């Protein structure tokens, strides 16, 4: 655990010092420097020591402590020490909003392409519906056209680029034109996502919104201010939490997670300093009657994981930043 992160998490739960507090403290310090009768100093020092001790106890009592869901390997999760403090989603959203205010929004032109390079892991114990074996570890490059009308893919080590114009669900949009149309004010964004999520999926509203928000974050490469607004929207939903984890390639980050049903938890993992996307995971939490696909898994197993290792805007599919 990075000590500076721990200090920031502790500090975020205490009311920050205001100017009037500093003036009052300055007056008390100056007053304490005035000559005092010898017999009166001990009670004052004892009172201050007691106040400091009470503040320390309040800080410790105010820290929410949970267990992290760490990954020792790509297919298995283990618990981190129980004393390790983590922030809530609202805290992460506030930090991301502050950081995003210093960054410009950059969208591709309609004729440009968003480039991403990702590493994938699929748990080989997952039973595929068609009986095929899961492709356990691979790297893929992808290009998404700025107008959202075409995608291109290339496997690592293969010179061939596959271009396609069909989408899995054309109503589940995350193309740049759609992202530009989304409001940045969190309340307005939440209402817009509620409307769009109902059109894009048959899930209940709360799960549909979180599913759409997570998909946009993981697939759409939104700029910093929209990312922060989406984190804020996620913080307002039920059954959404955050934990400190390591991604597929070992980078430490915040995992914002939500329950997808059937014993599956979906996570997106974000950089704790820049708040950019690192990747995502699906974790099997276990269920009394597991779906046939997960019958060979144990609670805590990683079903699927992806790490985004490069991204940028280029002019043609096949180009890299």
What mean pLDDT do residues 256-261 have? 86
What pLDDT does residue 48 have? 43
Specify the pTM: 0.68
Nearest to 5 by CA among 257, 236, 252: 252
Given a cut of 90, whether residue 170 has pLDDT beyond it is no
Tell me if 236 is assigned to some domain: yes
Q: Tell me what the pLDDT averaged over the chain comes to.
A: 76
Q: What is the mean pLDDT of residues 301-305?
A: 94
Distance CA(94)–CA(223), nearest Å, equals 16
200, 259, 188: which is closest to 226 by C-alpha? Answer: 188
Both 153 and 279 in one domain: the answer is: yes
* Whether residues 260 and 116 fall in one domain: yes
Residue carrying the six token digits 């304490």? 32
- The predicted-structure confidence for 220-229, as pLDDT tens digits, reads as follows 788 999 999 9
Cβ-based neighbour number of residue 55 at 10 Å: 11
Whether the per-residue pLDDT at 123 is higher than 70: the answer is yes
Asked if the structure places residue 219 within a domain, the reply is yes
- Both 116 and 140 in one domain: the answer is yes
* Pick from 7-21, 185-199, 242-256: least confident: 7-21
Instruction: Please indicate, yes or no, if residue 320 is contained in any of the structural domains.
Output: no
Q: Is the CB of residue 186 less than 8 Å from the CB of residue 232?
A: yes
215 DSSP β-pair partners? none
The mean pLDDT value for 210-222 works out to 85
Q: Does the structure show a pLDDT above 60 at 63?
A: no
Q: Does the pLDDT of residue 75 top 90, yes or no? A: no
Mean pLDDT of 277-298: 89
Q: Is the pLDDT of residue 159 over 60?
A: yes
pLDDT digits (tens, 9 = 90+) for 34-62: 555 444 444 444 444 444 343 343 333 33
Report the alpha-carbon distance of residue 303 to residue 118 in Å, rounded. Answer: 17
Range of the domain at 281: 69-314
Query: Between the CA atoms of 286, 246, 201 and 192, what dihedral angle is there, to the nearest 10 degrees?
Result: 140
Alpha helices in the chain (DSSP H): 3-11, 19-32, 41-62, 89-100, 176-181, 186-200, 205-219, 224-235
3-class secondary structure per residue, 274-319: CCCEEEEEEEECCCCCCCHHHCCCCCCEEEEEEEEEEEEEECCECE
Looking at 32, 62, 92, which one is the last position of a domain? 62
Residue 193 and residue 50 in one domain: no
Which pLDDT score is estimated for 167?
54
Lowest mean pLDDT of 90-99, 199-208, 285-294, name the range.
Answer: 199-208
Strands 76-79 and 240-246: unpaired
């Amino acid at each position: 655990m990075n000590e500076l992160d721990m200090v920031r998490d502790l500090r975020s739960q205490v009311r920050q010092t205001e100017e009037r507090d500093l003036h009052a403290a300055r007056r008390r310090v100056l007053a304490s420097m005035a000559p005092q009768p010898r017999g009166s100093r001990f009670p004052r020092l004892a009172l201050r020591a007691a106040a400091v001790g009470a503040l320390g106890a309040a800080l410790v009592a105010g820290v929410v402590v949970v267990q992290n869901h760490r990954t020792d390997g790509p297919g298995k999760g283990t618990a981190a020490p129980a004393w390790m403090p983590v922030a809530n989603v609202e805290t992460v959203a506030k930090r991301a909003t502050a950081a995003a205010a210093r960054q410009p929004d950059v969208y591709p032109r309609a004729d440009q392409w968003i480039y991403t390079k990702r590493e994938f892991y699929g748990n080989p114990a997952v039973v595929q519906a068609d009986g095929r074996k899961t492709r356990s570890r691979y790297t893929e490059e992808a290009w998404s056209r700025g107008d959202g009308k075409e995608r291109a893919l290339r496997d690592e080590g293969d010179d061939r680029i596959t271009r396609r114009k069909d989408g899995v669900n054309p109503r589940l949009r995350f193309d740049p034109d759609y992202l530009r149309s989304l409001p940045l004010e969190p309340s307005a964004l939440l209402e817009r996502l509620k409307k769009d999520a109902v059109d894009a999926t048959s899930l209940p509203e709360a799960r549909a919104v979180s599913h759409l928000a997570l998909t946009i974050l993981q697939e759409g490469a939104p700029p910093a201010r929209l990312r922060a607004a989406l984190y804020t929207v996620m913080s307002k939903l039920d059954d959404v939490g955050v934990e400190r984890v390591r991604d597929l390639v070992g980078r430490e980050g915040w995992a914002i997670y939500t329950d997808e049903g059937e014993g599956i938890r979906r996570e997106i993992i974000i950089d704790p300093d820049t708040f950019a996307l690192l990747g995502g995971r699906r974790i099997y939490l276990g269920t009394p009657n597991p779906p046939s696909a997960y019958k060979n898994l144990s609670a805590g197993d990683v079903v699927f994981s992806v790490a985004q290792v490069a991204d940028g805007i280029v002019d043609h599919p096949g180009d890299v930043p």
